[in-house]
A and B are shown apart, each in its own frame.
Chain A
Amino acid sequence: MRKQLRLSGSGGQGVITAAIIFAEAAVKEGKEAVQSQSYGPEARGGASKSEVIIDDAPIYHPHVQQPDLVLALTQKAAEKYYGDLHEDGILVLDEDLVPEPPKFKNTIRIPITKLAVEQVGKSLFANIVALGALVRITGLVDFETIKSSVAKRVPPHTVEKNMQALQVGWDAAGKAVK
């Protein structure tokens, strides 16, 4: 079954890295996966979007056509990227950075960046907190698989903090969808 995810925010929030790790975990579980991205010329601050398609069959057209899930870490990204979301899809928002959530049926609001700062120590971990939440919400890959994919991608001295970030995201998603 094809699943299409779009992760969005502003440059520097790490949505591209999160998407790569998600796709890597899917490949590790034997699935087909493609990941693409679009961003402006600036290194920080411009709109940033990354897409992941996961399927059992080969994937040709590489971009998401109708997302099953959109993650937005800024107000601007939420407004720009949720429009074509499938009507049964899920919109996941950073509760504080998207103060005016678009009106969408299945919206999950999680204080992603706030949790990263308060529970992991830095806003830098927001993307991994988000990743932990997405794994729980979608159920597309195993939590253990995502842990090993994160551990492989991040600098060795940050593995422990990143594992903590994953767990914080996982727990927060559990609370939010209850």
Chain B
Amino acid sequence: MTEARLMQGNEACAEGAIAAGVSFFGGYPITPSTEIAEGMAKMLPAIGGKFVQMEDEIASMGVVLGASLAGKKALTASSGPGISLKQELIGYAACAEIPVVIVNVQRVGPSTGQPTAPSQGDVMQARWGTHGDHPMIALSPWSVREAYDAAVMAVNYSERFRTPVILLMDEIIGHLREKVVLPEAKDIKIYPRRKPACSRAEGYQPYTPDKDLVPNVANFGEGYHIHVTGLIHDETGFPVGSPKITEEAIDRLHQKIEIARDEITHTEEYFMDDAEYAVIAFGGTARTAYEAVKNARAKGQKVGMVRLMTIWPFADKIVKALAAKVKGILVAELNYGQLVHEVERAVAGKCDVQLCAKYNMEIFEPQEIESGIDKLCAGGKD
């Protein structure tokens, strides 16, 4: 165990990324994510890595994709307005299967919104911000320590699945400082960059899927001929206008994540043993929900909590099982209501689903979620 220290969520995210092997950062500062760029600017030169502040968020996304194709594990970080600008190239990374991690420290939107205030309003943008059918992995930490762990996990998943991963933080955790004990370097599992299994002479094609459906695309500059495109392509990497290849390509993009879905869907349960009602929450809001559920228990209400650490892919199985067990679910989220739609879809009418929403620049107070619990336990009546 390392020594306990006071650390900020954004700082932990930067340190976690470095621990996972990130050696390139491209970005453009924006509150409340700037401390991630600051941390990378401080740490990367010392370990032979590169930090580049680009002219804007679009260029920042382009430069991390280039670095990744050249063999570096790469990270960018931003908030709402910047994440919106990055969307086209996030889709490019999904289609061309380029490993990359995009950190979104959410703030109030839409547009420039409220620059320093907390929100969780980018849940659906994380999933569908870029156009077309594509899978997405998004992780949302609820503590400073978990921001570190989630950064490691995000980098590992991006490498393993060769896909963009969104680390969906919020201002609450990004700017929070708390006591943390970080893991020892030797206890951190790192997924290495995938390597071609054969040479060009042996018939290597960059987009031939491995057994886990993920291709072992060679890095630029290592002796292989690579063609990278955002057009739908076959195993050679060159575009093809064939319905069959197109269908297969889009199937595989989804299937490579789908077959690992259970393994990458991280959730935690609290006070659930005899619970008749449950609160679903994520990120910084889950801390307040935990406090509210604890208070509700003290009042004798049989309520528990399920916390989603993996937001995408959505925890369908867990929520379906929950719906079969409880009478009602309260979704607490710091937005106008986004994740609640996914919960309703998974619950499919098997139990009551209610929303506890807030979008006024302030985080929840435990009492607000407690009122939601009271209403839920009363079957939706005040």
User: A interface vs B, CB < 8 Å?
Assistant: 20, 23-24, 27, 30-41, 59-63, 65
- 14 A-B contact pairs sorted by A residue (CB < 8 Å): A20-B177, A23-B177, A27-B5, A27-B179, A32-B179, A36-B176, A41-B31, A41-B115, A61-B287, A61-B288, A62-B172, A62-B176, A63-B365, A65-B366
Nearest opposing residue in chain A for B142, CB measure? A60
Is B116's CB under 8 angstroms from A24's CB? no
Is B6's CB under 8 angstroms from A33's CB? yes
B178 in the interface (beta carbon within 8 A): yes
Apart from A60-B287, A61-B288, A63-B365: 5 A-B pairs, beta carbons within 8 A = A35-B6, A37-B175, A41-B116, A62-B172, A62-B287
Nearest opposing residue in chain A for B179, CB measure? A27
Nearest opposing residue in chain A for B364, CB measure? A61
**Distance from A148 Cβ to chain B, minimum over Cβ atoms (Å):** 13
Residues of A contacting B176 in the complex (Cβ-Cβ under 8 angstroms): 34-36, 62
Q: What secondary structure prevails in chain A residues at the interface with B?
A: mixed
Residues of A contacting B178 in the complex (Cβ-Cβ under 8 angstroms): 32-35, 59, 62
What's the Cα separation between A22 and B56 when bound, in Å? Answer: 37
What's the Cα separation between A62 and B294 when bound, in Å? Answer: 15
Residues of B contacting A59 in the complex (Cβ-Cβ under 8 angstroms): 178
Residues of B contacting A35 in the complex (Cβ-Cβ under 8 angstroms): 6, 176-178
Is B116's CB under 8 angstroms from A61's CB? no
Are A36 and B177 CB-contacts (below 8 A) given A27-B4, A27-B5? yes
What's the Cα separation between A62 and B365 when bound, in Å? Answer: 10
B290 in the interface (beta carbon within 8 A): yes
Residues of B contacting A20 in the complex (Cβ-Cβ under 8 angstroms): 6, 177
Are A60 and B6 CB-contacts (below 8 A) given A23-B177, A34-B178, A36-B175? no
User: B interface vs A, CB < 8 Å?
Assistant: 4-6, 31, 115-117, 172, 175-179, 284, 287-288, 290-291, 294, 363, 365-366
Are A60 and B288 CB-contacts (below 8 A) given A27-B179, A35-B178, A36-B177? yes
Residues of B contacting A41 in the complex (Cβ-Cβ under 8 angstroms): 31, 115-116
Closest 7 CB pairs of A and B: A61-B291, A35-B177, A34-B178, A60-B287, A24-B6, A60-B290, A61-B288
Are A34 and B363 CB-contacts (below 8 A) given A27-B6, A60-B288? no
Residues of A contacting B179 in the complex (Cβ-Cβ under 8 angstroms): 27, 31-34
Residues of B contacting A61 in the complex (Cβ-Cβ under 8 angstroms): 287-288, 290-291, 365-366
**Distance from A170 Cβ to chain B, minimum over Cβ atoms (Å):** 22
**Distance from B297 Cβ to chain A, minimum over Cβ atoms (Å):** 13
**Distance from B213 Cβ to chain A, minimum over Cβ atoms (Å):** 40
Residues of A contacting B287 in the complex (Cβ-Cβ under 8 angstroms): 60-62
Nearest opposing residue in chain B for A38, CB measure? B116
What's the Cα separation between A27 and B181 when bound, in Å? Answer: 11
Nearest opposing residue in chain A for B117, CB measure? A38
Nearest opposing residue in chain A for B114, CB measure? A41
**Distance from A87 Cβ to chain B, minimum over Cβ atoms (Å):** 19
Residues of A contacting B172 in the complex (Cβ-Cβ under 8 angstroms): 36, 62
Residues of A contacting B4 in the complex (Cβ-Cβ under 8 angstroms): 27, 30
Nearest opposing residue in chain A for B294, CB measure? A60
Nearest opposing residue in chain A for B112, CB measure? A41
Residues of B contacting A34 in the complex (Cβ-Cβ under 8 angstroms): 176-179
Is A23's CB under 8 angstroms from B365's CB? no
Residues of A contacting B116 in the complex (Cβ-Cβ under 8 angstroms): 38-41
Residues of A contacting B284 in the complex (Cβ-Cβ under 8 angstroms): 62
What's the Cα separation between A41 and B79 when bound, in Å? Answer: 14
Residues of A contacting B6 in the complex (Cβ-Cβ under 8 angstroms): 20, 23-24, 27, 33, 35
**Distance from A23 Cβ to chain B, minimum over Cβ atoms (Å):** 5
What's the Cα separation between A24 and B288 when bound, in Å? Answer: 23
What's the Cα separation between A91 and B219 when bound, in Å? Answer: 61
Residues of A contacting B365 in the complex (Cβ-Cβ under 8 angstroms): 61, 63, 65
